[in-house]
Amino acid sequence: MTADVSPPLRPATLEDVAAVAGVSRATVSRVINGATTVDPALRRVVEEAVATTGYVPNRAARSLVTRRTDSVALVVSERERRPVSEPFIGRMFSDPHFGRVVAGLMDVLRPAGIQMVLMLADDEGSRDQLLSYLRQGHVDGVVLISSHADDPLPGLIHDTRLPAVLAGRPRRPSPLTYVEADQRAGAQMAADHLAALGRRRIGTVAGPQDMPAGQVRLTGFLDALEQHGVGDVVTAEGDFTQSGGASAMRQLLKERPDLDAVFIASDLMALGALPVLLRAGKDVPADVAVVGFDDSNAAVACDPPLTTVRQPVEEMASEMARLLLRQIGKPGDGPAPSVVFHPTLVHRESA
């Protein structure tokens, strides 16, 4: 018996689309590459022919014409300082803030047909690999999440001449566009709220003091409390993790067992700190009022639900994507103006 061998299906070509549409190959190419000079009626005919034939553009060939890859890099840079048992990548994916950033970016990038490549830089070797990848032209631009004040990566990425946007204001002068929430104003809101409740024996679980967000939230909180006449504030440094919040809370209670309010510089740290308070016999908020920062899903997972400073992370990330696409589309215009979002205080049951 002779086997029935059918010829393999051949991917549709530009010539196939042109034949179905009744136009030249050059016209099909202009439509697919987004030329704005094509007559709208003719464009519709070509688009219908593309759908009929199932034509899929060759991205590699298209990039030779447009000099675009239709992809951007999300670069997460952090100084490694945790034990090997808590690796950088594990902390990143367990942090609700990171998921919110990705969601906000993809809300803008996906409809624009842009792919996102995640790249991590937590030591000199991974940073060198990253820069080599960027210089080879694999992406059209970069969104950089940098977590420490002395990170050289913003300057190094600027030197690649790729369009780039920073998540957060850099502590070193940088020509790169950035998007951030007003961290200082948010910390002041927390201080004003606790002072308005009549709390005077106040402590704070601060973020890491080698990170700009940790520094600004702490100084903003302390400066605002000083304006309310509260100067004796006990401080313990956390690391923006749940376990770090628990450890810092134990330290606060050891130093100030009679505290009646705590500002915790991230919701994730508050999720670890609240059980420590409860195990110490402290009722929240009757004995100790607690305010967090972020308004992430960790805030509603707290018991009781956390009063917290909301920074609109998804909206901020979407704005980063829009600013980056603007730079990619109009490279001669240079960096776009930076954008600062205003935080709000979300009232729940902890304060």
Residue-wise pLDDT tens digits, 269-313? 999 999 999 999 999 999 999 999 999 999 999 999 999 999 999
State the CATH number of the domain containing residue 31. Answer: 1.10.260.40
User: Does residue 326 lie within any of the structural domains?
Assistant: yes
**95: number of Cβ within 10 Å:** 19
Q: Which of 66, 86, 105 is the last residue of a domain?
A: 66
User: Does residue 347 lie within any of the structural domains?
Assistant: no
**CA distances (Å), origin 139, targets 26, 113, 209:** 27, 13, 33
Number of domains comprising the chain: 3
**123: number of Cβ within 10 Å:** 12
Beta bridge partners of 293: 309
Q: Are 195 and 300 in the same domain?
A: yes
Whether residue 209 contacts residue 215, with contact meaning beta carbons closer than 8 Å, is answered with yes
Q: Are 318 and 284 in the same domain?
A: no
DSSP code, position 209: T
Q: Are 230 and 266 in the same domain?
A: yes
Q: Are 176 and 318 in the same domain?
A: yes
Q: What is the pLDDT of residue 42?
A: 87
Q: Are 290 and 317 in the same domain?
A: no
Helix (H, G, I), strand (E, B) or coil at 203: strand
- Locus of tokens 């400066």: 223
Q: Are 145 and 214 in the same domain?
A: no
* Domain coverage including residue 337: 71-180+313-341
User: Does residue 3 lie within any of the structural domains?
Assistant: no
Q: Are 212 and 249 in the same domain?
A: yes
Q: What is the pLDDT of residue 206?
A: 96
Those residues of the chain that have pLDDT short of 50 are 1-3, 5-6, 64, 81-85
Residue-wise pLDDT tens digits, 91-133? 666 677 888 999 999 999 988 889 999 988 877 888 889 889 8
Q: Are 199 and 93 in the same domain?
A: no
Q: How far apart are CA 241 and CA 207, in angstroms?
A: 9
Whether residue 266 contacts residue 244, with contact meaning beta carbons closer than 8 Å, is answered with no
User: Does residue 4 lie within any of the structural domains?
Assistant: no
State the CATH number of the domain containing residue 234. Answer: 3.40.50.2300
User: Does residue 195 lie within any of the structural domains?
Assistant: yes
